[in-house]
Amino acid sequence: MINHLSDLSNEMIPAVEMELRDVLRFKEHGDDLFYGMMHYHMGWVNEELDSLEVNGGKRVRPLLCLLACAASGGDWKRTVPAAASIEFIHNFSLIHDDIQDASPTRRGRLTVWKLWGVSQAINTGDAMFALAHTAMERLSTRDVDDSISLQALRMLDNTSLELTRGQFMDMQFEERDDVSVDDYLAMINGKTAALLSLSAEIGALVSDCRPEIVRHFAAFGRDLGLAFQIRDDILGIWGDETVIGKSAATDIETRKKSLPVLHGLSKDDTLRRMYEEEDSSDEFVAAVVEHLGQTGSREFAESFEQKYVDSALAHLEAVSPEGKAGEALLQLTGSLLNRQF
């Protein structure tokens, strides 16, 4: 099979990078550190603000956006500002997440708050949130109608609200012992799926296809996001360390209330008691995983994952994605879910 995903990525990602850098370009003298902290987070400079030759992340969301545009018959180049905007939203949320989770590192580098303190990191995220909008407002420089640009901005802000709502729930879950599967689905819907949905939706919106098609793309992105997050939850317990790059069962150590765990907790009182203990020894973690096996929690989560995969594929099929971009969209879906279609 020809790798259209790789071909198109090689064209699309540099275009997105150029747009990202253009929006984050130093505007005034003395702004070095103000923009510098954003450049650092994007992976472009080191902590002394010297340029780096690095790979700045996978840019999954921009790619999804541009492929959705091309696959629905649009000119993806006109959608690049939207793709950049979405990438900024994602990164703004990461800067704030890292403060909220007290994470010292991300992708093997110190986090912004760790280097420059919490106050400056809050402000850096805020600045990037503003610039995400500035990026979207550049659609009109690519001959996109004002009404479409406005609609894209409205979608962006609805999604940002969903994102903060998901983050609110996620933080609340840490203190709640009554989290239901529905609560969990609402949380990942906001925290993970909303932005993937927006990516596909705006791509289709800018290509000016029928509202019905735009809705299918949005639903495709949402289901893809839900399946992706649930798969991540499964890997967080049963993943292969050598593949996922973090120790398996990390999520058990941190007592994360992921989907398999929520299922297990609802089925097994012993597990519920164990989850309240502070023990993080290998033996203890192994015992928890054993219990989760017995409660059928892995199968439970996999059935949800499968449901969302099937639904995502059905929405994708409904729009009959065109040409190479259509193929690439299927390949991207496969690579995100670690499957082949």
Question: Is 211 exposed, middle or buried, given 0-12, 13-18 or 19+ CB atoms closer than 10 A?
Answer: exposed
First to last CA, the chain: 11
Question: Is 92 exposed, middle or buried, given 0-12, 13-18 or 19+ CB atoms closer than 10 A?
Answer: buried
Residues shown for the chain: 341
Nearer to a copy of itself, 129 or 275 (CB): 129
Q: CB 16 → a copy of itself: shortest distance, Å?
A: 20
What are the b/e assignments for 225-244, b being 16+ CB within 10 Å? Answer: bbbbbbbbbbbbbebeeeee
Nearer to a copy of itself, 100 or 254 (CB): 100
Nearer to a copy of itself, 4 or 257 (CB): 257
Query: φ and ψ at 291, to 5 degrees?
Result: -60, -45
Tokens of 280: 């993080």
Q: CB 155 → a copy of itself: shortest distance, Å?
A: 10
Nearer to a copy of itself, 58 or 176 (CB): 176
Q: Is 62 left (phi over 0), alpha (psi -120 to 50) or beta?
A: alpha
Helical pair 80-100 and 194-206, crossing angle rounded to 10 deg: 170
Q: CB 162 → a copy of itself: shortest distance, Å?
A: 9
Nearer to a copy of itself, 189 or 258 (CB): 189
Q: CB 128 → a copy of itself: shortest distance, Å?
A: 9
Instruction: Please list the residues that pair with 45 across neighbouring strands.
Output: 51
Nearer to a copy of itself, 63 or 132 (CB): 132
Sign of torsion over alpha carbons 288, 294, 299, 300 = negative
Q: CB 203 → a copy of itself: shortest distance, Å?
A: 20
Q: CB 148 → a copy of itself: shortest distance, Å?
A: 9
Q: Which residues bind a copy of itself (CB under 8 A)?
A: 30-31, 33-34, 96, 99-100, 118-120, 122-123, 125-127, 129-131, 133-134, 137, 140, 146-147, 149-150, 153-154, 156-158, 160-161, 164-165, 167-168, 171-172, 183, 186
- CA 70, CA 199: separation in Å to the nearest integer? 13
Nearer to a copy of itself, 7 or 31 (CB): 31
Q: CB 114 → a copy of itself: shortest distance, Å?
A: 15
